[in-house]
Amino acid sequence: MLGMSGRALSFGAKAEAYERFRPGYSTELFDTVMGYAGQPVRTALEIGAGTGKATRLFAQQGISLTATEPDGAMLAELRSHVPASVRTVQAAFEDLRPGEKYGLVYAAAALHWTNREGRWQRMAALLEPGGVFASFGGPIRLADPAVEEAVRAARAPFLESDEVPSPDGTPPEQEMQWPGTELQRSVWFTDVQQSVIERRLTMSARDYVGHLSTISAYLILPFSEQEQVFGQIMRVLPETVELVADVTVHLARRRYGQ
């Protein structure tokens, strides 16, 4: 089985599907981040930008934005959808070298692919003192428990779970979730906040399976097993599915004097 780094780079072959089936982000998210910042943010750095779902949201608000992404296919897809003013860099978070400092550094459903060791010191080095770090995302779940159970049973011969486990082992019932848990322990950050933006979606069964085809747990299965599991899931889905796709937002501020 691929390790986390392998899973992180498993998306490139699916860049077009990722663009088509992954939902975008609302202006409510932008307002949440800017409200926390409490002052105009002029420069931002995005970690693991993918095909640019979040890039578009922040770039449209006039921020000078640098989007980084290690996978070339994902970055090529991003470049076809974002304004020319967005600077793009093919690089993993760990390969970024401190230099220019930003008012905002953020990751959209990508932070769990970064290495834990030295993560927050590296993040702090990219931020102006008092600058804002933001991480946001969350799993997309079927709203109907009966449909969810049918999909779980269809998936079971191939996958026990298709979710990414908490990187630091935080149980799902705990109020503060990862990465807020790590940020609270970090000497580099303060004023850690967690909030949830409700998001409800309706998709056709085929589009929902298309969305599943962008999830790393399925991408690392052998191709023959992917075909089988998607076929099994299609058979138990209604024509359209209702989804709970809440976005959990974590925010923190880089300490002064560190």
The CATH class of the 4-141+167-201+244-254 domain is alpha beta
| pTM of the predicted protein model | 0.92
Give the span between the Cα atoms of 32 and 54, in whole angstroms: 14
Average pLDDT for the chain: 92
In the chain, helix, strand, coil percent, each to 5? 40, 25, 40
Q: Is 35 helix (H, G, I), strand (E, B) or coil?
A: helix
The pLDDT assigned to 7 comes to 42
* Residue-wise burial string across 79-94, b where 16 or more C-beta atoms lie within 10 A, e elsewhere: beebeeebebeeebbe
- Lowest mean pLDDT segment, chosen from 123-127, 152-156, 215-219, 232-236: 215-219
Give 78-101 pLDDT, tens digit per residue.
999 999 999 999 999 999 988 899
User: Which of the four pLDDT bands, split at 50, 70 and 90, describes residue 9?
Assistant: very low
Average pLDDT on 140-162 reads 96
The pLDDT assigned to 6 comes to 41
